[in-house]
Each structure stands twice: as structure tokens, then as C-alpha cells.
Amino acid sequence: MKEMVVEMLASRGVRLEQIARIVVELQKPYRPDLTVDECLRSVEKVMEKREVQHAVLTGIALDMLAESGALPEPLLTLVRNDDPLYGIDEILALSITNIYGTVGLTNFGYVDKRKMGVLRGLNSHSSKRVNTFLDDLVAGIAGAAAARIAHRSEAAG
Ligand code: MG
């Protein structure tokens, strides 16, 4: 299942290494020595969680259905336009960050607001792609992977 979900992300333009780069940025103030490889390992661990896989499968499916016009109205317009009052994309991503507690949540909010790394491209409305769920999922995975590293270094220190 994990491989399938990772492939699904790649087909939507997101590689795990790009998520790892966001994690490096997030952890820079606390762990300036952290490498992309270490962060990639943390992202891989997050991707092994069933809750995460299910959230990604669900969110990307909704993006794809909106892209092909297959969702019923008014949901189609809400998802297609990434309506600011439609917050279910964020709610779904919270199911990822919740696994790692408050640190994951704080990270998620920061990544989402700053539109870090690969998220910038996903949010540019130049493409015909619908990434309403994808951007939050990526922010959620990055936030969770960073929280995982934070918890571990706390335990070690
Ligand atoms: Mg969104």
C-alpha cells in the first residue's frame, strides 16, 4: 500500500524528497545539522502509517474527481476553486499531523501559511490541475515528519 500511495503522490507532482526538503527548512532553527537524507527517512516512516496512507488516498482521489468534473455540485465548485471557506482539505490533513501531537499541528500551520518548497508550485493557479487536497496533505506529511524528528531529539537529549 505504501508504494502505491508514494506513486500516487509522484503522479501528482510530489516526490518524497521534496517533502524532506520542507522538513529540513522546518527543523533548521533547532537542528541546523539535519540532512535531506535524515528527513527523507522520517518522511518514509510517516508514510508507513495507515492513517496517513488513507488520508492521501482520499484527498488525491477528490482532487482527481474535481479535475475531471466527476464530483456532484456544489462540492465540485468548492473543491475546484479551493474555496477559502471549504476547510475539509485542512481537516483531512490534520488526521496526519494528529499522530504526532501538538508539534505536528504547529508545523502544519507554518508550512501551510508559508507555502514552503514544492507547495509554492502546487498553489500556483496557472496549472489546470486541482491540488486543493494535495497541498494540505503535503504540508501535513512534512509537519508530521518534522515533529517526529523533534520528539526523537528530545528523547535523545
Ligand atoms: Mg488546500
- pLDDT value, residue 125: 61
Across the range 128-140, mean pLDDT stands at 94
State how far the Cα of 126 lies from the Cα of 49, in Å rounded to an integer: 33
**Three-class secondary structure of residue 25 per DSSP:** helix
**How much distance in Å is there from the Cα of 26 to the middle of ligand 1?**
19
pTM: 0.93
**How much distance in Å is there from the Cα of 126 to the middle of ligand 1?**
16
8 Å CB contact between 138 and 118: yes
The position carrying cell 518534522 is 146
**How much distance in Å is there from the Cα of 104 to the middle of ligand 1?**
17
- pLDDT value, residue 151: 84
Q: Is the pLDDT of residue 114 over 90?
A: no
**How much distance in Å is there from the Cα of 73 to the middle of ligand 1?**
18
Q: Is the pLDDT of residue 157 over 60?
A: no
**How much distance in Å is there from the Cα of 31 to the middle of ligand 1?**
28
**How much distance in Å is there from the Cα of 60 to the middle of ligand 1?**
11
The position carrying cell 526523537 is 152
**How much distance in Å is there from the Cα of 135 to the middle of ligand 1?**
5
| CA angle (87, 89, 91) in 5-degree steps | 70
**How much distance in Å is there from the Cα of 146 to the middle of ligand 1?**
20
CA quadruple 120, 142, 111, 14: dihedral, nearest 10: 10
**How much distance in Å is there from the Cα of 134 to the middle of ligand 1?**
7
**How much distance in Å is there from the Cα of 79 to the middle of ligand 1?**
9
**How much distance in Å is there from the Cα of 131 to the middle of ligand 1?**
7
Sign of the four-CA dihedral 58, 49, 12, 116: positive
CATH node for 2-156: 1.10.3760.10
Q: Is the pLDDT of residue 143 over 90?
A: yes
